[in-house]
Amino acid sequence: MPNIFARLDDVSLLYGDKVILRNCTLDIVSGAITCIIGLSGAGKSTILRLLDGLRKPDAGHVYIHDQDICHTHEDKLNEIRRKISLSFQFAALLDSLSVGDNVALPLREHSRIADAEIRKMVVDALDSVGLAHTFDNLPSELSGGMLKRAGFARAIVTRPELILYDEPTTGLDPIVTHLITDIIVRLRKKLNGTAVVISHDLQSIYMMADYVAMLFEGAIIAYGTVEEIKKSMNPIVQQFLQGSEVGPIPI
C-alpha cells in the first residue's frame, strides 16, 4: 500500500444552498503527482483550499499526515500549512515588486533567514524554473508562461512537502504548456515531494500524472493511474475524456 500524504474523508461542503462536495473521499499519495479532472465549476479548486486549510468542510475530515486539520488548533494548523504551497492560477504576483522580491515573500514573512541566504534560495528557485535571469524584472515584463513559472518558483522556495497547482496551463500555447508540464514533474523530483494538479488539459495530465481523480457532482467517481482512467468503463469518465456531446453528462 502506498503512503498517503493527505486524505479527504467523506467531505461535504456547501456554498449557500449549492452543494459543492458531497461525501467526497480522495487519497493523495506521498511522492506522487495526483491530477484532479472534472467539469468547470465542479469544485476542483475547492479541494485545493481544503487541503491547504483555507476552507473547512461542513462535514467530514481532511487529514495531512494523519492530522485532522479540521479540528486543529490554529498554531498547529499554521505549522502544517508551512509544509504546503499553493500555486495560483494567475500567479498572483505583486506588480510593485521585482520577480525576486515576489519569490522571496514567503521566506521574509515566515522565517528569520538572513537576506543573503534568502537571495541564494530565491536564485535557486528561479533557476529551477529557468528564470534566474528575471530576478530584477517586474512581473509586467514577463510573458504569461514566465509569470506561471515565477509563481512556481515562489511556491517551491520554502521547499514544501506538498505543492497544489491550480490550472497551471490555462491560457498557454501548446509549446509553453509542454514546458510547464515538464517543470511540474522536475520540481516534484527536485523537492522529493508530493503534488496535486487541477487541470483540464488532458495531454498535459497524461504526461505528468501518477494518479488521476475525476470529480463529478461533488464526489470522486473514478480514481487510478492514467491507463486505468483511460480504460474506465464509467460512461461519464469516457464522455469527459472524449469531449463528446453524447453521454450521461448534461450539456
pLDDT single digits (tens) 81-139: 889 998 887 668 889 999 999 999 999 887 788 889 999 999 999 999 999 999 999 99
pLDDT digits (tens, 9 = 90+) for 11-39: 999 988 899 999 999 999 999 999 999 99
Q: Kindly state the average pLDDT of the residues 32-61.
A: 93
Q: Is 79 helix (H, G, I), strand (E, B) or coil?
A: helix
> Residue 90 has what pLDDT?
67
Q: Tell whether the model's pLDDT for residue 48 goes beyond 70.
A: yes
Ordered by where they begin, the domains of the chain are: 1-83+163-168+193-251 (3.40.50.300)
pLDDT digits (tens, 9 = 90+) for 192-240: 999 999 998 999 999 999 999 999 999 999 999 999 999 999 999 999 9
Pairing of strands 67-68, 59-64: antiparallel
Q: Detail the DSSP E strand segments found in 116-238.
A: 162-166, 194-198, 211-216, 219-224
Of the candidates 222, 245, 249, 242, the residue with the CA atom closest to the CA atom of residue 233: 222
Contacts of 238 (CB under 8 A, 6+ apart): 232, 247
> Residue 22 has what pLDDT?
94
pLDDT digits (tens, 9 = 90+) for 172-187: 889 989 999 999 999 9
Model-level pTM? Answer: 0.92
Quickly list DSSP for 174-206. HHHHHHHHHHHHHHHHHHT-EEEEE-S-HHHHH
Contacts of 90 (CB under 8 A, 6+ apart): 147
